[in-house]
Amino acid sequence: MSQALPLNTHSSPHLRIQDLNVWYETNHALRGIYAEIPTFGITAIIGPSGCGKTTLLRSLNRLLEEGEGIRVKGQVWLNEVDIYDRVMDLNELRTRVGLLAPKPYPLPLSIYENVAYGRRIHGLDVLDKGNGRNLDRKVEHYLRTAGLWEEVKDRLKAPASALSTGQQQRLCLARALAVEPEILLCDEPTSALDPISAQGIEEQLITLKENTTIVIVTHLLRQASRMADYVIFLWMGELVECGPAKELFKNPKDSRTQAYLMGKIG
């Protein structure tokens, strides 16, 4: 399913991670990570449970440091700006680098307002002369992009909590997309879903990768091989190997990657 896309070898990377270290209290969870995440396409972070995938992902929009006792050291360059620089505006960063969590958390608002939430926060439609019709169009657009429009178009005012889990996750996708992020981080976005909904989300992400950089964490090798253009393999807090998906899956260089791909470890 994955097609040839410009890789970081011949286009400038969207994110450049440089000597990134993370500690939970004294647990050194990420050790000197260097990696480049190509512009557009899907980058998958794979590895066994507890190897630091979520930690790495959440360091990319600095949601990580909201937790207790967490220390981050290193640089992450987003278009020539280090997001760990002191002058970085966190709210702007998180607008540009969105997140889709493993479990859907619909906001305690209506379906419509969930999608409109971020746009209202940033006043994206304040110059709208159409009495909110611009916002209506945007909400519809992103609900369509997330593949949810047909199911909810007659009950946009209903509370989001009334949706099924699969629908809620697609709503969260629409909510994340509505602020037009250039990068979308997805942490095991299908792990709470039934197979049909999971497949739906996978298809939406594959469509999105044409003009959005997508980073997905998954412990499902099949999912990674179906979706990924580029792969980062983590092992006990270290980056063992990364590269274009086809190469890495076909000819893994490191023995740990080989063992993991053959199902011998993790």
Partner 1 sequence: MNEKSKFLKNREKLSRHHTKSFSKLSRDRKDLAAHKAMRALAICVSILVPVFILVLFLRARPILATHNISTLLFSTTWRPNQGSFGFFPFIMGTLWVTMVAMIISVPLSLLTAIYLAEYTRPKVRAFIMPLIDLLAGIPSVVYGIWGVLTVVPFIQKVVMPSADRWLGFSPLFQTSNPTGYGVLAGGIVLAVMVFPIIIAVSEEVIRTVPLGLREASWSVGASRWQTIRRIVLRRAFPGVIAAVMLGFSRAFGETMAVLMVVGNVVQIPHSIFDAAYPLTALIANNYGEMMSIPLYDAALLGAALILLLVVLTFNIGSRLVLARISYS
Ligand X SMILES: Nc1ncnc2c1ncn2[C@@H]1O[C@H](COP(=O)(O)OP(=O)(O)O)[C@@H](O)[C@H]1O
Q: Rule CB under 8 A: which residues touch partner 1?
A: 61, 63, 66, 68, 91-95, 98-99, 101, 103, 105, 107-109, 117-118, 121-122, 172, 175-176, 178-179
**Intra-chain end-to-end CA distance of the chain, in Å:** 26
Quick check: 265 binds ligand X (CB under 6 A)? no
- Whole-number minimum distance, CB 164 to ligand X, in Å? 26
The answer to whether 112 and 156 are in contact (CB under 8 A) is yes
Residue 103: count of CB within 10 angstroms of its CB: 14
- Whole-number minimum distance, CB 49 to Mg ion, in Å? 7
Q: Classify strands 15-24 and 41-46 as parallel, antiparallel or unpaired.
A: unpaired
- Whole-number minimum distance, CB 13 to ligand X, in Å? 22
CA angle 232, 240, 23 (to 5 degrees): 90
Quick check: 54 binds Mg ion (CB under 5 A)? yes
Q: Which CB atom, from 30 or from 124, has the smaller least distance to ligand X?
A: 30
User: What, of ligand X, Mg ion, partner 1, none, does residue 14 touch, CB below 5 to 8 Å by kind?
Assistant: none
Taking alpha carbons only, the member of 54, 77, 56, 36 closest to residue 229 is 36
Quick check: 53 binds ligand X (CB under 6 A)? yes
Judged by DSSP in three states, 63 sits in coil
Contact region with ligand X (CB under 6 A), list: 31-39, 43-51, 77-85, 194-202: 43-51
